[in-house]
Structure 1
Amino acid sequence: MSHKLSWRKLAAAAVLVPALTLTACSSGGGRAPEAGGEGGGAVADTERIKVALITHAAPGDTFWDIVRKGAEEASAKDNVELQYLSDPEGGRQAQLIEQAVQQGVDGIAVTLAKPDALASALQNATEAGIPVVSLNAGEDRFSELGAFTHFGSNEKLAGEAVGERLAEDGYEHPICVIQEQGHVGLENRCAGVKEKVPGTEILYVQGTDMTQVQSTVTAKLQATKAADVVIGLGAPFTLTILQAVETAGSDAKVASFDMNAELAQKIVDGDVIFTVDQQPWLQGYMAVDALWQNKRGGFEIGGGQPVLTGPTIVDQESAGEVLEFAEQGVR
């Protein structure tokens, strides 16, 4: 049976468009930033602007390296000075937004994993006349929080796609592992899976401690012999889950959301059955580019609707096609 799944079918009603001065916690395992405006191609002959990209990234989560790479490439093209800032705690992320407002940046791109914690800070940004876009998390809240568009995947649809795929393949007892309790996008992913596979269990782990992630999943598998598949909600966590499955001596398979080069290779090798890609490089690139376009001509992409970058399922049949790009750090 062919399992090719087009995210266009899942989201036919949505729109598709193909040095730090603030103190913050930087994600991505300490990768050095690339200076905006120093790319190898032509740079826009427009006034240089300053954009703050403020995410909920936790230190060491390589997913955010891909988002950041896209943002940096757009900044290089658009003559943008990019400030990349992150903190997984909602209150501290709000403080970063407030600092960006006080500095008078020309635009803010922000993730809305914990939207209620950011509401006041984002209101201050819009009242100050600073255009805001959201990305990655918050597709159902971006408009009320003042962003003129959102770039990302519909996480509930993504979860439902995973659930449908697992149900088709005969899985009945998934464990969906959430690494950050209260993150609306992660909760929606597991809710979507459970909607299609009612036997799904949700397991919370401390995502900032991979040793704890592995031990918690190992213990759960040892206590839950009926578990037939474990779902990781991010590539680094899925790779750790693979180790937990082996340690537990479990026959459970492993599926994932998101991707990096190592995970893509695991899919090619058959160790992970599939992942759901939301194309984070596009999210970072389009968020910065949209703010530049807004500054350039008052343009607003999306017509008030989220601009979807996913979901799409990548399995062993298709992983080889994207492995090259994953190795380049853009998938």
Structure 2
Amino acid sequence: MTARTRTFRIAALGAAVVLAATACSGGGREKTEESDTGGGNAAGSSGYTIAFITHETPGDTFWDKVKNGANQAAKDTGVTLKYSNDPEAPKQAVLIQNAVDSKVSGIATTLVTPDALAGAVKAATDAKIPVVGFNSGINDYQRLGALMYFGSDETLAGTEAGKKLAEQGAKHPLCVIQQTGSVALEARCAGVKSSVPGTENIQVNGADDAAVTSTLQAKLAQDKSIDSIVTLGAPQALDAIKARQQAGSQAKLVTFDLNEQAATEIKSGNILFSIDQQPYVQGYMAVTSLYLNLKNGNDIGGGKAVLTGPSFVDSANIDKILPFTKNNTR
């Protein structure tokens, strides 16, 4: 992707946010469901109900920011938002089908396992329910029939992260995948490997922090050639800090995504940088774009994915970003 293309997509995102403002004023745990009922406009005042469906593993702080963005958009537009999640692909497909059966106005969903969700998404499009993809599935959303997409180019993000590691002298990064079958996570590691060919992947259970720590500790203790660790979520970065200390490893640590604790570790120097995909923006734009499509026929992005990342957070800008992580919007 050229710099010009990235600039165009970032500009498209900025324009989309302005337009929205003008128009309005990982596995196996039990799924949850939520409904937003308050805000600047009364919930439901627009007449639209949007199902917002993710592969969230309960307890992963990343999704709090996604939901905060979606809830704010629902308040701004008067949409009734129905949130549900399940980290298991077949169960997420059932949630999408349930939304179709309940005749919602629109569906915003992650597409982390696109082939497993294809049938349910087709059921939505066959029922003339507009679908927007976000967070995962940038290479598959059009094939599945989603109208728009909001998220990071994960291959690009991984490639850029790898370049920064290479500048630090990295030869043998360990890329930590916390959810089996996630195309987005695999793309991140593939991107890192394209910049640092010695990259090695390791699979961990992202739903169990203690297991993540012990798995990484054992690997770092066994292989002293590992000179850097790339975690693909902020909670796993915190696990890696413990594992690195227990193993007596000097490996540098970088992570994808942010939470307040990870931001604090960037401030202290324990994490070199974060590759932030700006999840609050993903949630906000997914809901707002459906509202605008339903109300006004808008197609934000003009048939192209709207990029929300990669946005790098490091020692140069952490002082600006840290307060927003405390608000759980960054």
Q: Normalization by structure 2: what TM-score?
A: 0.91
* Counterpart position of 1:21: none
Name which of 25, 31, 35 aligns with 1:25: 31
Name which of 7, 16, 19 aligns with 1:12: 7
The answer to whether structure 1 residue 245 and structure 2 residue 244 are counterparts is: yes
Shift in Å at residue 8 of structure 1?
6.4
Shift in Å at residue 211 of structure 1?
1.2
* Counterpart position of 2:131: 132
Q: Is the 8 A contact 1:34 1:72 kept in 2?
A: no
d(CA) in 1 for partners of 2:69, 2:87: 20
SS of residue in 2 equivalent to 1:309: strand
SS of residue in 1 equivalent to 2:229: strand
Amino acid in the other structure paired with 1:115: P
Task: Give a deviation string over 1:211-241, Cα, whole Å, max 9, x none.
Answer: 1111110000011101111111000111111
- CA RMSD of superposed structures (Å): 1.8
Q: Is the 8 A contact 1:10 1:157 kept in 2?
A: no
SS of residue in 2 equivalent to 1:143: helix
Amino acid in the other structure paired with 2:6: A
Q: Is the 8 A contact 1:138 1:184 kept in 2?
A: yes
* Counterpart position of 2:235: 236
* Counterpart position of 2:194: 195
* 1:57-136 equivalent positions in 2, closer than 5 A: 57-136=56-135
SS of residue in 2 equivalent to 1:305: coil
SS of residue in 2 equivalent to 1:58: coil
* 1:110-259 equivalent positions in 2, closer than 5 A: 110-259=109-258
Shift in Å at residue 26 of structure 1?
2.8
Aligned pair count reads 313
d(CA) in 1 for partners of 2:53, 2:32: 10
SS of residue in 1 equivalent to 2:243: helix
Q: Is the 8 A contact 2:178 2:206 kept in 1?
A: yes
Q: Is the 8 A contact 2:177 2:232 kept in 1?
A: yes
* Counterpart position of 1:4: none
- Percent identity, aligned pairs only, is 46
Amino acid in the other structure paired with 2:66: V
Runs (5+) with no aligned partner, structure 2 = 18-29
* Counterpart position of 2:36: 35
Amino acid in the other structure paired with 2:268: D
Shift in Å at residue 316 of structure 1?
1.1
Amino acid in the other structure paired with 1:25: K
* 1:257-296 equivalent positions in 2, closer than 5 A: 257-296=256-295
Q: Is the 8 A contact 2:44 2:79 kept in 1?
A: no
Task: Give a deviation string over 1:83-116, Cα, whole Å, max 9, x none.
Answer: 1111111111000000000000000000010000
SS of residue in 2 equivalent to 1:316: coil
Shift in Å at residue 35 of structure 1?
2.6
SS of residue in 1 equivalent to 2:32: coil
Instruction: Name the CA shift for 1:8/1:263 in 2 (closer, same or farther; >3 Å).
Output: farther
Instruction: Name the CA shift for 1:43/1:192 in 2 (closer, same or farther; >3 Å).
Output: same
Runs (5+) with no aligned partner, structure 1 = 1-6, 19-23, 28-32
d(CA) in 2 for partners of 1:45, 1:254: 45
SS of residue in 2 equivalent to 1:144: helix
Q: Normalization by structure 1: what TM-score?
A: 0.91
Shift in Å at residue 286 of structure 1?
0.4
Q: Is the 8 A contact 1:44 1:77 kept in 2?
A: no
Instruction: Name the CA shift for 1:103/1:35 in 2 (closer, same or farther; >3 Å).
Output: same
Shift in Å at residue 47 of structure 1?
2.9
